[in-house]
Chain A
Amino acid sequence: MKKVVTGNYAVSWGARLARAQVIAAYPITPQTSIIEKLATFCADGEMEARFIKVESEHSAMAACIGASAAGARAFTATSGQGLLLMHEVVHWAAGARLPIVMGVVNRAIGPGWNIWTDQNDTLSQRDTGWLQFYCETNQEVLDTTIQAVKIAETVFLPAMVVLDAFLLSHTSEPVDIPDQAEVDAFLPPYRPELKLDLDDPRAFGALVLPSDYMEMRYKIQKAMERAVGVAEAVDHEWGERFGRSWGLVERYRLDDAEIALVTSGTVTGTSRVVVDELRDKGLKIGLLKVRMFRPFPHEKVRQALAGIEKVAVIDRNISFGDSGVFAQEVRAALYRADKRPPVFDFVTGLGGRDIVPATIREIVDYTVAHDAPVEEFTWIGVKK
Chain B
Amino acid sequence: MIEIRIHGRGGQGAVIASQVLADAVFQEGRYVQAFPAFGVERRGAPVMAFTRIDDVPIRIHTQIYTPDHIMVLDPTLLDVVDVTAGLKDGAWILINSTRPPHTFTFPDRYRVATVDANAIAVKYRLGPRNAPIVNTAILGAFARLTGIVSLETLCEAVRSAVPIHPEENVAAVREAYQQVAEEGR
- The reply on A239 being an interface residue by CB < 8 A is no
Contact of A173 among B32, B36, B62, B65 (CB under 8 A): B32
Which residue of B is nearest A174, CB measured? Answer: B26
A4-B23, A115-B40 are known contacts. Are A270 and B35 too (CB-CB below 8 A)?
Answer: no
Complex CA–CA separation, A13 to B26 (angstroms): 20
A172-B19, A174-B32 are known contacts. Are A357 and B38 too (CB-CB below 8 A)?
Answer: no
A170 touches B32 (CB 8 A): no
The stretch of B53-61, B78-86, B96-104 in contact with A is: B53-61
B60 touches A172 (CB 8 A): no
Q: Chain A CB within 10 Å — which of B19, B36, B62, B63 has the most?
A: B62
Residues of A within 8 A of B38 (CB): 116, 165-167, 170, 352
- The reply on A368 being an interface residue by CB < 8 A is no
Residues of B within 8 A of A355 (CB): 62
Complex CA–CA separation, A327 to B65 (angstroms): 30
A173 touches B58 (CB 8 A): yes
Contact of A171 among B23, B40, B61 (CB under 8 A): B61
Which residue of A is nearest B58, CB measured? Answer: A173
Residues of B within 8 A of A174 (CB): 26, 31-32
- The reply on A273 being an interface residue by CB < 8 A is yes
A4-B23, A4-B26, A174-B26 are known contacts. Are A356 and B62 too (CB-CB below 8 A)?
Answer: yes
A171 touches B33 (CB 8 A): yes
Residues of A within 8 A of B31 (CB): 174
Question: A111-158: which residues lie under 8 A (CB-CB) from chain B?
Answer: 115-116
The proximity string for B residues 5-49 relative to A, scoring 1 for CB distances below 8 Å and 0 otherwise, is 000000000000001001100100001111110101000000000
Complex CA–CA separation, A226 to B77 (angstroms): 57
Question: A238-254: which residues lie under 8 A (CB-CB) from chain B?
Answer: none
Complex CA–CA separation, A286 to B62 (angstroms): 20
- The reply on A229 being an interface residue by CB < 8 A is no
The proximity string for A residues 178-220 relative to B, scoring 1 for CB distances below 8 Å and 0 otherwise, is 0000000000000000000000000000000000000000000
Complex CA–CA separation, A184 to B23 (angstroms): 28
B23 touches A170 (CB 8 A): no
A270 touches B62 (CB 8 A): yes
Complex CA–CA separation, A166 to B41 (angstroms): 13
The size of the chain B interface, using a CB distance under 8 A, is 19
Complex CA–CA separation, A174 to B59 (angstroms): 12
Residues of B within 8 A of A352 (CB): 38
- A250 CB, nearest partner CB in chain B, Å: 13
The A/B interface has a contact count, at CB < 8 Å, of: 57
Question: A245-290: which residues lie under 8 A (CB-CB) from chain B?
Answer: 266-267, 269-270, 272-273
The size of the chain A interface, using a CB distance under 8 A, is 25
- The reply on A57 being an interface residue by CB < 8 A is no
- The reply on A315 being an interface residue by CB < 8 A is no
- B139 CB, nearest partner CB in chain A, Å: 15
A170 touches B33 (CB 8 A): no
B22 touches A273 (CB 8 A): no
Which residue of A is nearest B59, CB measured? Answer: A269
Contact of B35 among A115, A171, A273, A357 (CB under 8 A): A171
Which residue of B is nearest A359, CB measured? Answer: B62
- B49 CB, nearest partner CB in chain A, Å: 10
A170 touches B59 (CB 8 A): no
A354 touches B35 (CB 8 A): no
Residues of A within 8 A of B40 (CB): 115
Complex CA–CA separation, A341 to B39 (angstroms): 40
Which residue of A is nearest B20, CB measured? Answer: A4
- The reply on A168 being an interface residue by CB < 8 A is yes
A273 touches B63 (CB 8 A): no
- A140 CB, nearest partner CB in chain B, Å: 12
Complex CA–CA separation, A273 to B61 (angstroms): 10
A173 touches B33 (CB 8 A): yes
Q: Chain A CB within 10 Å — which of B22, B40, B60 has the most?
A: B60
Question: A1-17: which residues lie under 8 A (CB-CB) from chain B?
Answer: 2, 4
- The reply on A235 being an interface residue by CB < 8 A is no
A4-B19, A115-B40 are known contacts. Are A172 and B35 too (CB-CB below 8 A)?
Answer: yes
- The reply on A164 being an interface residue by CB < 8 A is yes
Question: A286-324: which residues lie under 8 A (CB-CB) from chain B?
Answer: none
Complex CA–CA separation, A2 to B23 (angstroms): 10
The 5 lowest CB-CB distance pairs between A and B, nearest first, are: A266-B61, A269-B59, A166-B38, A171-B35, A172-B34
What are 21 sample pairs from A and B whose C-beta atoms fall under 8 A apart? A4-B19, A4-B23, A4-B26, A4-B32, A115-B40, A165-B38, A166-B35, A167-B61, A170-B38, A172-B22, A172-B35, A266-B61, A267-B61, A270-B59, A270-B60, A270-B61, A270-B62, A352-B38, A354-B63, A355-B62, A356-B62
Known: A174-B32, A269-B61. 16 other contacts (CB 8 A): A4-B22, A4-B23, A4-B26, A4-B32, A115-B40, A166-B35, A166-B36, A166-B38, A170-B38, A171-B35, A172-B22, A172-B32, A172-B34, A173-B32, A174-B26, A352-B38
